Amino acid sequence: MSIPFDTRWSLEEEMKLWLLIDKILGDPSISKILQNATFDIPFLTRKNKIITRGYVHDTMIKHHLNYPDFPKNLGFLCSIYTREPFYKDEGKGAFKGPINDYDQYYRYNAKDSACTFEANTEIQRELIQFGNADTYEFNQRLMKVLFYMMHRGIKVDKLAGMPNAVVKRAEAVLKDLEASHANVGSKSKPDTSHIQQDVQLSFFALNDPVLQQIHDELVQTDINALTPVEALLKLNEIKKLTGA
């Protein structure tokens, strides 16, 4: 199925369509079949605020587990798992310029959906046959975490051992930036003058003698004059300063 989002719908009708799509994709009891879910799911979240829930069958990942050396694009999968004649050229023009034939473009999208659904059945059979089902289950469980990290990010500053003063300063700058972008799309330009200074965080602006010593070592070192061996030795000296 291909749902054309064009001028044929009123605003109210298009809203109803998006709400139905959101209801289906957000239902955890409905399994989803996608080709390259790691692109589609974050894209829907970012662009349309749609959270996809439920078990995810990703034909690209499954096929890659079965045949790591084979291409894993949908055109290749359709050629070996379905009887659909090659059609991927039908949609290429839409990505390079104006769409000249919308009916052909909608059929192209519908074929993508139908072929992904059909290919998944055979790919799943081979996944079990080759003993790769458990590996895919592991990947499938990681998807939710990966999607969250792609959408919201992950805090690594404290995990990486950054000084607390740097972490607090970064959080303060982040809050200022979030506040300045709260009215994106409004006619008035947000005033960011109060956060333009000292946005670049520096490890060497801290009252830490070890960091100061590392700073001095780096300043006094002519990197361009070092041989590869000398560079490794210098790096080892700096590593010792940290107590590692």
**DSSP codes joined into one string, 110-151:** HHHHHHHHHHHHHHHHHHHHTT-HHHHHHHHHHHHHHHHHHH
Give pLDDT tens digits for 131-143: 999 999 998 888 8
d(CA 167, CA 96): 44
Only one residue has tokens 């993508």, namely 112
What CATH architecture does domain 11-152 belong to? 2-Layer Sandwich (3.30)
159, containing H or E segment: none
pTM: 0.64
198, containing H or E segment: none
d(CA 122, CA 134): 17
d(CA 34, CA 133): 17
Q: What is the pLDDT at residue 85?
A: 93
Q: Which two tokens stand for residue 155?
A: 């805090």
Q: What is the pLDDT at residue 244?
A: 62
Looking at mean pLDDT, say which of 91-95, 152-156, 194-198, 222-226 comes out highest.
222-226
CA 80-65-128 angle, to 5 degrees, is 80
Residue 202 has pLDDT above 70, yes or no: no
Closest CA to 179 of 169, 188, 196, 191: 191
Q: Bigger pLDDT: 85 or 96?
A: 85
Q: What is the pLDDT at residue 196?
A: 46
| pLDDT tier for residue 68 given thresholds of 50, 70 and 90 | very high
Beta strand 32-34 with 56-58 is: parallel
Only one residue has tokens 């949908």, namely 74
| pLDDT tier for residue 199 given thresholds of 50, 70 and 90 | very low
Only one residue has tokens 């959906």, namely 113
Residue 52 has pLDDT above 80, yes or no: yes
Percentage above 90 pLDDT, the chain: 41
Residue 37 has pLDDT above 60, yes or no: yes
| pLDDT tier for residue 222 given thresholds of 50, 70 and 90 | confident
**CA dihedral (101, 107, 109, 111) positive or negative:** negative
Kindly state the DSSP code that residue 32 receives in the 8-state scheme: E
| pLDDT tier for residue 25 given thresholds of 50, 70 and 90 | very high
Closest CA to 169 of 211, 206, 213: 206
Least confident of 39-48, 52-61, 103-112, 217-226: 217-226
For residue 135, give Cα distances in angstroms to 24, 141, 145. 27, 10, 16
